[in-house]
Amino acid sequence: DTGVSQDPRHKITKRGQNVTFRCDPISEHNRLYWYRQTLGQGPEFLTYFQNEAQLEKSRLLSDRFSAERPKGSFSTLEIQRTEQGDSAMYLCASSLRAGTSTSGNTEAFFGQGTRLTVV
Protein backbone atom coordinates (compact mmCIF):
# COMPACT_ATOMS: atom_id res chain seq x y z
CA ASP A 1 0.00 0.00 0.00
CA THR A 2 1.56 3.29 -1.06
CA GLY A 3 -0.97 5.60 0.60
CA VAL A 4 -0.69 7.62 3.79
CA SER A 5 -0.39 5.33 6.80
CA GLN A 6 -1.30 6.18 10.40
CA ASP A 7 -0.69 4.24 13.57
CA PRO A 8 -2.45 3.34 15.77
CA ARG A 9 -5.93 3.30 14.26
CA HIS A 10 -7.58 3.56 17.67
CA LYS A 11 -6.32 4.72 21.03
CA ILE A 12 -8.14 4.78 24.35
CA THR A 13 -6.33 6.54 27.14
CA LYS A 14 -7.04 7.85 30.61
CA ARG A 15 -7.19 11.56 31.20
CA GLY A 16 -3.79 12.94 32.06
CA GLN A 17 -1.81 10.36 30.10
CA ASN A 18 0.45 11.20 27.16
CA VAL A 19 -0.19 9.74 23.72
CA THR A 20 1.83 9.71 20.50
CA PHE A 21 0.58 9.07 16.98
CA ARG A 22 2.63 8.31 13.91
CA CYS A 23 2.06 9.19 10.27
CA ASP A 24 3.95 7.85 7.26
CA PRO A 25 3.22 9.99 4.20
CA ILE A 26 3.29 8.99 0.54
CA SER A 27 7.00 8.56 -0.07
CA GLU A 28 7.63 11.30 -2.61
CA HIS A 29 5.46 13.89 -0.84
CA ASN A 30 7.35 16.74 0.77
CA ARG A 31 4.39 18.24 2.65
CA LEU A 32 2.70 16.66 5.64
CA TYR A 33 -0.34 17.97 7.52
CA TRP A 34 -2.15 17.13 10.73
CA TYR A 35 -5.87 17.75 11.12
CA ARG A 36 -8.36 17.02 13.88
CA GLN A 37 -11.97 16.05 13.22
CA THR A 38 -14.77 15.84 15.74
CA LEU A 39 -18.19 14.34 15.11
CA GLY A 40 -20.31 16.36 12.73
CA GLN A 41 -17.51 18.73 11.76
CA GLY A 42 -15.05 18.99 8.91
CA PRO A 43 -11.35 18.46 9.63
CA GLU A 44 -9.61 21.38 11.39
CA PHE A 45 -6.03 22.24 10.51
CA LEU A 46 -3.48 21.72 13.28
CA THR A 47 -0.04 22.03 11.73
CA TYR A 48 1.99 21.32 8.62
CA PHE A 49 5.54 20.51 7.59
CA GLN A 50 7.46 21.07 4.43
CA ASN A 51 10.21 18.48 4.57
CA GLU A 52 11.41 18.66 8.18
CA ALA A 53 10.42 22.29 8.79
CA GLN A 54 7.21 22.98 10.70
CA LEU A 55 5.83 25.99 8.82
CA GLU A 56 2.60 26.74 10.63
CA LYS A 57 0.77 25.82 13.81
CA SER A 58 -2.91 26.52 14.41
CA ARG A 59 -4.14 28.33 17.50
CA LEU A 60 -5.94 25.04 18.22
CA LEU A 61 -2.56 23.51 18.97
CA SER A 62 -2.05 24.25 22.65
CA ASP A 63 1.30 23.81 24.38
CA ARG A 64 0.24 20.25 25.25
CA PHE A 65 0.52 19.34 21.57
CA SER A 66 3.80 18.88 19.74
CA ALA A 67 4.55 17.55 16.29
CA GLU A 68 7.83 16.56 14.70
CA ARG A 69 9.06 15.38 11.35
CA PRO A 70 12.74 14.84 12.14
CA LYS A 71 14.04 13.52 8.83
CA GLY A 72 11.40 14.92 6.53
CA SER A 73 9.71 11.54 6.19
CA PHE A 74 7.37 10.21 8.93
CA SER A 75 5.85 12.51 11.53
CA THR A 76 4.70 12.12 15.12
CA LEU A 77 2.02 14.05 16.97
CA GLU A 78 2.22 13.95 20.76
CA ILE A 79 -0.47 15.08 23.17
CA GLN A 80 0.63 15.51 26.77
CA ARG A 81 -1.71 15.43 29.78
CA THR A 82 -4.70 14.43 27.65
CA GLU A 83 -8.10 15.91 28.39
CA GLN A 84 -11.55 14.62 27.45
CA GLY A 85 -11.85 17.44 24.93
CA ASP A 86 -8.94 15.94 23.01
CA SER A 87 -11.15 13.00 21.98
CA ALA A 88 -11.35 13.19 18.20
CA MET A 89 -10.12 11.65 14.97
CA TYR A 90 -6.57 12.81 14.17
CA LEU A 91 -5.97 12.82 10.44
CA CYS A 92 -2.66 13.04 8.63
CA ALA A 93 -2.39 14.07 4.99
CA SER A 94 0.47 14.56 2.55
CA SER A 95 0.97 16.35 -0.73
CA LEU A 96 3.56 17.72 -3.09
CA ARG A 97 4.45 21.40 -2.93
CA ALA A 98 3.37 23.22 -6.10
CA GLY A 99 6.25 23.36 -8.52
CA THR A 100 7.61 19.98 -7.50
CA SER A 101 4.94 17.92 -9.24
CA THR A 102 5.34 17.17 -12.94
CA SER A 103 1.62 16.57 -13.19
CA GLY A 104 0.80 19.86 -11.49
CA ASN A 105 -1.31 18.02 -8.95
CA THR A 106 -0.90 19.25 -5.39
CA GLU A 107 -3.97 17.80 -3.75
CA ALA A 108 -3.65 16.34 -0.27
CA PHE A 109 -4.21 12.63 0.33
CA PHE A 110 -5.40 11.53 3.75
CA GLY A 111 -4.55 8.58 5.95
CA GLN A 112 -7.17 6.48 7.73
CA GLY A 113 -6.83 8.50 10.91
CA THR A 114 -6.23 7.71 14.56
CA ARG A 115 -9.36 7.80 16.68
CA LEU A 116 -8.50 8.99 20.19
CA THR A 117 -10.86 8.46 23.10
CA VAL A 118 -9.91 10.02 26.42
CA VAL A 119 -11.79 8.53 29.38
Q: Does 33 bind another protein (CB under 8 A)?
A: yes
**CB-hemisphere CA count at 13 Å for 36?**
20
Pick the closer one to another protein by CB: 57 or 87.
57
Choose which of 21, 48, 65, 90 interacts with another protein (CB under 8 A). Answer: 48
CA R_g for the chain: 14
What distance in Å separates the CA atoms of residue 53 and residue 3, rounded to the nearest whole number? 22
Query: Please, what is the minimum distance in Å from the beta carbon of residue 117 to another protein?
Result: 16
Choose which of 13, 20, 24, 44 interacts with another protein (CB under 8 A). Answer: 44
Q: Does 54 bind another protein (CB under 8 A)?
A: no
What distance in Å separates the CA atoms of residue 35 and residue 44, rounded to the nearest whole number? 5
Looking at residue 16, its amino acid is: G
Kindly identify the residues of this chain, within the stretch 61-90, that bind another protein according to CB under 8 A: none
Query: Please, what is the minimum distance in Å from the beta carbon of residue 17 to another protein?
Result: 25
Choose which of 19, 79, 91, 118 interacts with another protein (CB under 8 A). Answer: 91
Q: Does 31 bind another protein (CB under 8 A)?
A: yes
The burial of 103, by beta-carbon neighbours within 10 Å (0-12 exposed, 13-18 middle, 19 or more buried), is given as exposed
